């Protein structure tokens, strides 16, 4: 493949050279038969199904092409990819810096399991920029980033953070699920490991779990591969297949989610039941300039702070929605809306908003239908 091709082109062709069929065969295999007895212990790259089959190699190639990495490891879901990345860099006695708006289950892993392993976590304000240096001690080993933040959508000043953390010798990890690796290229900015929940946009159809960690250079790639091997982390071939199939259409699908998300965000920003919209591509977002500098687009996931309203009235309004589903996860073709206050845990960086916080995923239904559905629910919340 020519390096000069654009992303949509590269994602359609990545990894499939030399095969007559467009899609790879799905081998269902634990045992891999080797050509002779000498090969059992000598040389074959993946002598056992747990280490991956053809479809896994092709998915990894597509992910490396997407994120600009040298190597990738696959995991059974996004959370397992996050914990694999962290385990590949940390040891007892280390300290870890974690963005205060990190994905909730990542926070729980740090507070529960890493604490038990003798790793201390310090949470920092996602808007800290170079002030992240105030949290670095002689024990600090790594920094865990996520931009925009889960639920609250703050954007990191990545170059400012990385200039400080790299000077201090820290390994940096980012959860890049929101951008799907299309709208943000963290490895090119100097981040060491980029993690994605492939469950979201790469799969794109809400019907499979997967995760990946992509490494910028060989040293971190080696300890990542060893950690995956030691823990026996792997992804089933059927899942790898549907995620690879989803990745072929990732770029055009994201353009649809982006357009729908912006249309809904603009409409909601002008709605009388809404206090604020948390969408980094809107100029009203406090980190809009950082987003415009580092990202090339926006996915379909954003937040909405409503004006204060009692929970019963809010729930009655949301239950009037016909097209938006109530469900966790996102990144499929369908629109979703959930109240997030019960999920919100912050140590240092977020003041409780003036009203309830919703998270919206803009799917691929007709946008005018989605707007009418939101109005049908929210108009009832407006007092005259």
Ligand X SMILES: *Cc1c(COP(=O)(O)O)cnc(C)c1O
Q: Is 60 a catalytic residue?
A: no
CA separation for the pair 322, 373 (Å, rounded): 7
Smallest distance from ligand X to CB 375, Å: 27
In the bound state with ligand X, the residue whose beta carbon lies nearer, of 136 and 153, is 153
Q: Does the protein bind ligand X through residue 103 (CB under 6 A)?
A: yes
Beta bridge partners of 75: 211
Of residues 123, 209, 291, 350, which one binds ligand X by CB under 6 A?
209
CA separation for the pair 259, 250 (Å, rounded): 14
Structure tokens at 340: 């997030």
CA separation for the pair 90, 109 (Å, rounded): 13
Smallest distance from ligand X to CB 28, Å: 22
Of residues 77, 163, 223, 343, which one binds ligand X by CB under 6 A?
77
Q: How many CB atoms lie within 10 A of CB 86?
A: 26
Answer whether 174's CB lies under 8 Å from 195's CB. Answer: yes
Of residues 136, 197, 254, 360, which one binds ligand X by CB under 6 A?
197
Q: Does the protein bind ligand X through residue 211 (CB under 6 A)?
A: yes
Q: Choose the catalytic residue: 60, 127, 185, 200.
A: 200
Of residues 15, 24, 78, 237, which one binds ligand X by CB under 6 A?
78
In the bound state with ligand X, the residue whose beta carbon lies nearer, of 223 and 343, is 343
Residues 135-174 close enough to bind ligand X by CB under 6 A = 150
CA separation for the pair 157, 84 (Å, rounded): 25
Torsion of CA 232, 201, 155, 72, to 10 degrees: 30
182 prior amide bond cis, ω within 30: no
CA separation for the pair 126, 267 (Å, rounded): 27
Smallest distance from ligand X to CB 106, Å: 7
Q: Does the protein bind ligand X through residue 175 (CB under 6 A)?
A: yes
Burial of 91 (0-12, 13-18, 19+ CB in 10 A): exposed
Q: Is 175 a catalytic residue?
A: yes
In the bound state with ligand X, the residue whose beta carbon lies nearer, of 300 and 355, is 300
Q: Does the protein bind ligand X through residue 223 (CB under 6 A)?
A: no
Q: Choose the catalytic residue: 50, 131, 141, 266.
A: 50
Residues of this chain that bind ligand X (CB under 6 A): 77-79, 82, 103, 150, 175, 177, 197, 199-200, 209, 211, 329
Residues that are catalytic:
50, 103, 175, 200
């Amino acid at each position: 493949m020519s390096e000069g091709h654009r992303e949509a082109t590269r994602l359609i062709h990545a990894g499939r050279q030399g095969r007559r069929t467009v899609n790879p065969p799905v081998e269902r295999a634990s045992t891999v038969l080797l050509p002779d007895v000498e090969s059992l212990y000598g040389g074959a790259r993946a002598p056992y199904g747990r280490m991956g089959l053809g479809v896994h190699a092709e998915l990894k190639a597509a992910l490396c092409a997407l994120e600009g990495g040298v190597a990738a490891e696959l995991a059974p879901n996004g959370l397992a990819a996050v914990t694999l990345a962290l385990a590949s860099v940390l040891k007892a006695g280390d300290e870890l810096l974690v963005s205060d708006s990190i994905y909730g289950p990542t926070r729980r892993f740090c507070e529960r399991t890493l604490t038990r392993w003798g790793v201390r976590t310090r949470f920092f304000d996602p808007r800290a920029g170079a002030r992240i240096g105030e949290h670095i001690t002689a024990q600090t080993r790594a920094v865990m980033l996520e931009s925009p933040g889960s639920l609250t959508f703050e954007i990191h000043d990545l170059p400012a953070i990385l200039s400080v953390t790299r000077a201090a010798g820290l390994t940096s990890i980012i959860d890049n699920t929101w951008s799907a690796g299309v709208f943000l290229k963290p490895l090119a900015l100097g981040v060491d490991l980029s993690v994605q929940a492939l469950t979201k946009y790469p799969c794109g159809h809400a019907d499979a779990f997967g995760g990946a960690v992509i490494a910028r250079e060989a040293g971190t790639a080696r300890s990542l591969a060893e950690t995956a091997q030691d823990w026996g982390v792997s992804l089933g071939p059927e899942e790898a297949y549907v995620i690879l199939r989803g990745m072929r259409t990732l770029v055009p699908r994201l353009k649809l989610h982006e357009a729908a998300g912006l249309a809904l965000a603009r409409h909601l920003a002008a709605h009388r039941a809404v206090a604020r919209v948390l969408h980094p591509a809107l100029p009203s977002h406090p980190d809009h300039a950082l987003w415009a500098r580092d990202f090339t687009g926006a996915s379909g996931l954003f937040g909405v702070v409503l004006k204060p309203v009692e929970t019963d009235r809010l729930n009655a309004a949301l239950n009037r929605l016909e097209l938006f589903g109530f469900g966790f996860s996102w990144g499929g073709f369908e629109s979703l809306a959930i109240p997030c206050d019960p999920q919100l845990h912050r140590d240092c960086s977020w003041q409780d908003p003036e009203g309830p916080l919703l998270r919206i995923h803009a799917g691929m239904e007709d946008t005018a239908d989605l707007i009418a559905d939101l109005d049908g629910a929210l108009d009832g919340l407006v007092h005259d």
